[in-house]
Amino acid sequence: MSTEFNFEKLGTDLQNRLGDIGEHVEEMQTLLGSKVARSDVDEMFARITEEVVGVTKEVGEARVANDADKLAREDATEALESRIDELDTKLSRSNAAGETDVLKEEHRVASHAFMRDDNPGLAKEFMARQEFQAIATRALSEGVATAGGFLVTPEQTDEIVKNTVSVDPIMKYARVVTLENSNEYRFSRRSAGPTGYWVGEESDATASQSVYNLVSIPIHIVGVNTPATTSLLQDVSYMENELTKDAGEAIGYTLGVAFLEGDGNGKPEGIISTSDVDLVAGNDTSTWLLEAVDFYSLLSGNGDDGTGLLPRYQNSSTFLMNATVLGKAMKLEDDNGGFIWQRNLKEGPPVMLAGRPYDISQSMDNDAVDGNKPLMLGDFREGYRIVRRKDVWILRDPFSSSPNVVFKWYARYGGKVAQSEAIKILEIT
């Protein structure tokens, strides 16, 4: 690295030193004109000589430093020009081979970036040259495709954001029976019991007996059929797993609706569709809203007429309704001015409706139309029976629809009301 001298400061110092030498000479002339000792004259002469030698030395060092710095600059400039000529030659050869001027310009930018990062001294001289200042303002950028942007690839995860699928919760509350090797489930239900009579000492009681019915729940097949190309399955490693998850979600939704509304024809018999469950009449729809009394009607009946849910089932019962009806129910007040939607301060569900837990079943009706059934209360474990085969079948068919691979998922389920008195449904009249 060359040493740079401040020649203006050096000139000022030399002028001051020469002034000092002049004063010493005048003093020596004064001494020679007077009668002084020879030693004093010699001492003055030595002092002047020392000052002259010092000035001469500094001037010589300044000249050497200036020459060395100039030589270093000339060498750096010569090396830079040689490097630039070499790059121009290579770029010219590339351009002659068919490369575009844009590519040549990008090579110039890359070369400048290299010199700027690794050779600060050369970069300074490079920037000083006017013909390269335009190049210096450019840089490789991911915002421009031809300037390296296409080299920046986006990162995609395996996560798939999905819309919510509301599955009706009947299966969560009902009793589920799993079969190993049958397509039908049967059980006996007592519809009436014997009657007791008071009898006299010599008389006999009137004969009576229990009445039993055989209830049969057939198993039906619910399936999902999804084709996918072989290329998609090869290129997306997790696609088959995602298809299976989606199929399970679709089967769950279809089953939930059937357990509520199924007509029993090739599918389960739903709670609302069957005629076995008693309907409790709701209030007049002129207000187009449910009233608090409707909830209590399912618990105790209208005016204590016995049409509500029997006490045996009340402690295990749950209200079912859709989210719209729940929003209205949360605003209803009882006869004492208290909201029927309450926070539970005891052990159990955190919030209650009319003293009972509730759940959302989006397949249920709204309350704005006469004849709708917007509200249900029941002990569903006692009231509804679900039967299923244990396994879900998965078939992978790569032949019938080539080049697609057809995925088929099958589940076998049945459902039916087992005890009608354990469930009550509110019907708007």
Q: What percentage of residues in the chain have a pLDDT greater than 70?
A: 58
What's residue 327's pLDDT?
87
Same domain as 264, residue 146: no
Q: Which two tokens stand for residue 125?
A: 């001289």
**289 pLDDT exceeds 60?**
no
Q: Are residues 47 and 185 in the same domain?
A: no
pLDDT at 391: 78
Tens digits of residue pLDDT in 163-215: 666 788 999 999 999 998 889 999 998 888 899 989 888 888 788 899 998 99
> Looking at the structure, do residues 253 and 383 belong to the same domain, yes or no?
yes
Spatial CB neighbours of 231, under 8 Å, sequence gap ≥ 6:
403
The answer to whether the beta carbons of residues 296 and 356 sit under 8 Å apart is no
Query: Which domain does 263 fall in, by range?
Result: 170-194+209-427
**Count of domains forming the chain:** 2
> Are residues 424 and 278 in contact, defined by beta-carbon separation less than 8 angstroms?
yes
Domain assignment present for residue 371? The answer is yes
Would 352 be classed as within a structural domain? Answer: yes
Check whether residue 371 and residue 403 sit in a common domain.
yes
Of 201 and 102, the one with more pLDDT: 201
**In this structure, is residue 157 part of a structural domain?**
no
Residue 89's pLDDT band, with cuts at 50, 70 and 90, is: low
Whether 288 shows a pLDDT value over 50: the answer reads no
Which one, of 283, 294, 313, 293, lies nearest residue 383 by Cα? 313
Same domain, 275 and 371: yes
Q: How confident is the model at residue 133 (pLDDT cuts 50, 70, 90)?
A: low
For residues 339 and 392, membership in a common domain is answered with yes
> 1: pLDDT confidence band, cut at 50, 70 and 90?
very low
Rounded to an integer, what distance in angstroms lies between the CA atom of residue 67 and that of residue 4?
10
Name the strands in the sheet holding 423-427, side by side, starting at the edge strand that comes first in the sequence.
278-281, 423-427, 375-378, 318-321, 358-360
pLDDT for 9-25, tens place per residue?
656 666 566 666 666 55
CATH number at residue 391: 3.30.2400.10
Tell whether 123 and 185 lie within a shared domain: no
Residue 202 domain flag? no
Query: Is 180 within a domain?
Result: yes
- What's the pLDDT tens digit per position in 39-81? 665 666 666 666 666 666 666 666 666 666 666 666 666 665 6
Shared domain for 188 and 128, answered yes or no, is: no
Confidence bin at 417 (pLDDT 50/70/90): very high
Residue 240 has pLDDT above 80, yes or no: yes
pLDDT of residue 10: 58
Neighbouring CB atoms inside 10 A of 157's CB total: 5
Tell me, what's the pLDDT at 303?
Answer: 39
